[in-house]
Every structure is written in structure tokens, then in C-alpha cells.
Structure 1
């Protein structure tokens, strides 16, 4: 396959290999070579099998100006949105009820089969939390009263919508 408009001469390939081993990015190499795109450089590097990169940046990259790292931005507060002179109120977050993990595991068992609903019986105001294996005829949905504007009941919403900090904390516990 030949890159349209790009001629990879032996000299250009050697320069590509040198710049790549020096640790330059594909964009920097493309600008050094001229008349070649970043994607063409990436493709050629891949076809040549050049995977190793320099551990330390050399003088070639140190002399190049680097963008200053941006300070991390604080999460934006939830504020009403303004659209066409109409203020749209933010959707209030439902309070997350702290429960033991073993209670969460047994939630599917706590709802009797008689209260669970099939896809045909599911209505707009019912919880759409899936229960069981979708390939089995016993597959059902929770069917409890859902929170207005959300597809789940209070309990399943607390399982589905966890704050990021809580999810990270749970991952650390699992890894330990």
C-alpha cells in the first residue's frame, strides 16, 4: 500500500527512525519531514516495527518549546442552565443510601418473582432494572415504582448512580 502523496525515500525513513528513537512525537516528526501527516508517520512507524522509544528526551526535544501543563480544573457546580432566555432548573441528585455490599448482592432475591415484570408488562413508571439472564425465559425487570425522570426505583438508582469518589474507593478495596 502506498501513501498518497508521500514518498518514503531511504533518507526520509532513516530520518524518521532517528527522530522516533530520539523521542519526538509523530506530529513533531511530520513537521520535521515536511509534506507528510502525523497519521502517515504513525503508519510508517507501525509498518517498520519501531516500538522502542528513548527513555530520556534528547537535546532535540528539549530545545522545543513545550506547552505549560494546565492546572486541574475544579468540578463545575451544578447551576441552572440558560437556554433562549429560559432558565432550566438542574435535576436534583437523589440521595445515595449507604448499604452493606452483601445487601446489594441479595437485592435480586429480595423481590418476589410475582412482582417482577416482563418487557411486555413494563410501564413508564416502573423500574427497568434487569434481573436474571436475558437469554432465559425467567428474565424479568424489577417493576417497582421508579423515580420521576429516572428509569430505576430508589434502591436501583442508588446502585446505578454512584458518585465517582465512592466508585474509586470501592475499586481500591477490591484490589487490596
Structure 2
């Protein structure tokens, strides 16, 4: 510290008095002059000054607990239990998920029925070790079991799947747009 801001005995005593009176480090620095707030904080810690008197104004006027205001808007999650309306509440990772109305079952399109040439016997399915570049890579079964296999039929040129599985995997763009419009309605 420079000569002007040297910690003399008088300045240290004044610091101790102001600190015990409850002044802030900034107020003490202004009172002492030529020292910064950080210098005051450092000196306080080096002196080991800890216990501070409460601000006399704050100690004389006890705080009255202010009454809480009633919420101005309704809560974002209703408090009704699952028995009140099970489909109404969304929780967890789905809290911001869009809610869609269920489609009537009369409009549901039937899934394409596999033709006879697409049904592959288990003995003709291939494991990952037997899979070749020209074979269909459509997974069949549970990957965690030993019975997991791939379709293995002849794949279409440039595609990883046979013609049947390509129709499932790749939908025309018009069909995808139509499906989205059903969801929004």
C-alpha cells in the first residue's frame, strides 16, 4: 500500500470502530479515504474481525411480515388428481408436447399386408456376420436376443432395403404432409 493509504495504528482503530458500528466496506473506505473497498475487506480479514453489530436502524424497527398477495393468475398445472381427468394433465418430459385429438378408428388405414414373397422363413434370415452389401438390412426381432436377424432379401439398387421394406421406410413426401395436416386439425 502507498504512503497515503498506509495502515497506521489510528487508521486500524478507526477501521475496527466503523466495522463494529456496522458500516459497509465501501462506507469505511470512503470514511478513511485513499483506500479501496477491497483493501478494507482484506484488512478486516487479516485482523480477524468477524462479529459485526447489526445496523442500529434495522435493529430498532423489527420487520413486520408482509401479508402475501393472492396469485393473480390461475396455476399452470391444475391440482386435480388423475381421477378427475386422466388425459388432461401432462407431466415430465412430455409437459410441452403438443396434445393431439385421437383419430376415429373408422379412418385408420390398414397396414400393407406382406405378400407371400416377402415372408422370409427364419432359416433364410441373416445375422450381422452374414449380411452382405446387396442384402436387405431391415432388422427383425429383438436386438438383445440371439434370434435377432436381418431380412436378407435382395435390396434395391442404392437402397439398404428390399422393395417391401423400402415402402415401409420411405414414405412419399405428399403422404407425410397429409399426415401432418391430420395431426394439426
Q: TM-score, normalised by structure 1?
A: 0.37
Q: TM-score, normalised by structure 2?
A: 0.35
Which protein is bigger by CA-based radius of gyration?
Answer: 2
